[in-house]
Chains A and B, each alone.
Chain A
């Protein structure tokens, strides 16, 4: 599938370099905000209220949710902003003029998002170790969600990066769609903690299945069927990748 290996590696390097160069904007802020979330909600409030959810402390319950939140935000933000800026400054021409295939272009851009998502989420988990420690219930499931979720949201980021024609449109999806879905997706609460009508809405939220899948891998607790969650995640990843690759091939908002 990849024929132009040097070109592909060059693009991956460029994408990773891009977020490393501005690490104070891309890596550090999520670590700080996570540390604050963990301290305020998990460590202070959760401990003082002696809150337990599904047999684990609230602090432990919270950590997979926060890790998932940053897997999503890191990967999504990276690819959406990278592709949008490539288009905005017309630097995308450098790629379009090259013999990189559309598959290689999409995969190269996507790996940048995966790398940032993994780095930030790994950092958030690292921060959590200052507050609590636990052994992963199933590290392979954790790894699965780390990879598949970053692929899904890197692809979504690429879709928005293609679609957006200005900075306002670029932020619309993140602000009005992704953030509410994340916050109502079980990052901070289990199904039993919300009123009954909201449970139905929560169950329609795909992020809820991803959060719970990761929570199962990390803690062994989940509100959903994990096999269903894993299949759903894989289908979303493959489906979105195929859509993005098709749009690149057609030149949607890339070629006049």
Chain B
């Protein structure tokens, strides 16, 4: 069974077809790099899967469950690490994770333990009682990851997780994602960094102007040339059309 199955997804903003009838399958345990220029439809696709935006056409399934009619079952299966730092200012960072887990129906004692574990891994334990505004940019990035994982989802969706991160943090996140994937977590990564996609992903999906230009094994794609060159070739061809 596919972890994510998208059929003929259409999302329209006024006159703009942000996502134009895409089909996409992500196998369980896969690591997919989802690439495309700004405004290509990456975030819209992610938001459609996670229930953050309505869509006008098509269907989406997560482990065989419809994301609209079975949303109460699909949402615990997905963890989203968004681009922006949208944290609750009324809570400490530890409280924030415990509350987030609580929304997923996880009892406080279990959630507190999981929060401690994640904060420890991402070296945020010392800051557990402060609110997020006192964290550096890199720390906030790590906190986003903690929040996405606190309910132990089967699929982790990341929207530019290393944008603005320093080298050390970037490598820490990469290693963490590789470990997670080895443990069976399905990872769907949106990024602008070709190096990141090339290192981490097994499958590459390239989207441009709401349509998928490429979907396949990374190895096949980069056999003759670098991912960056291939990406530019595909997106330029499409722009010329």
A3 an interface residue at 8 Å Cβ cutoff?
Answer: yes
Measured CA separation A94–B100 after assembly (Å) = 7
Q: How many residues of A contact B (CB 8 A)?
A: 29
Q: Which of B45-53, B134-142, B191-199, B225-233 contacts A (4 or more CB under 8 A)?
A: B45-53
CB pair B73 A99 closer than 8 Å: yes
| Interface set, chain B 72-130, CB cutoff 8 A to A | 72-73, 75-76, 78, 80, 82, 84, 86-91, 99-100, 102-107
Judge if A40 is at the interface, Cβ distance under 8 Å.
no
Is A10 a contact partner of B72 (Cβ separation < 8 A)?
A: no
Label chain A's interface by main secondary structure: helix
Partner of B82, one of A4, A9, A89, A93: A93
Tell me whether A256 is interfacial, beta carbon within 8 Å: yes
B86 touches A97 (CB 8 A): no
Partner of B86, one of A9, A17, A18, A89: A89
Collect the chain B residues with CB atoms within 8 Å of residue A18's CB.
90
B54 within 8 A of A: yes
Is the CB–CB distance between B90 and A21 below 8 Å?
yes
Nearest A-chain residue to B76, judged by Cβ: A99
- B102-A7 in contact (CB<8A): yes
Closest Cβ neighbor of A5 among chain B residues:
B105
B83 to chain A: closest CB distance in Å? 10
Chain A residues positioned under 8 Å from B75 (CB to CB): 97-99
Please, which residues of chain B bring their CB within 8 A of the CB of A101? 72
Q: Which residues of B contact A (CB under 8 A)?
A: 13, 44, 47, 50-54, 71-73, 75-76, 78, 80, 82, 84, 86-91, 99-100, 102-107, 147
**Chain A interfacial positions (CB closer than 8 Å to B):** 3-7, 9-11, 13-14, 17-18, 21, 89-91, 93-101, 250-251, 255-256
Can you list 19 A-B contacts with CB-CB less than 8 angstroms, sorted by A residue number? A4-B72, A6-B105, A7-B105, A9-B102, A91-B86, A91-B88, A93-B52, A94-B99, A97-B51, A98-B75, A98-B100, A98-B103, A99-B75, A99-B105, A251-B54, A255-B47, A255-B52, A256-B53, A256-B54
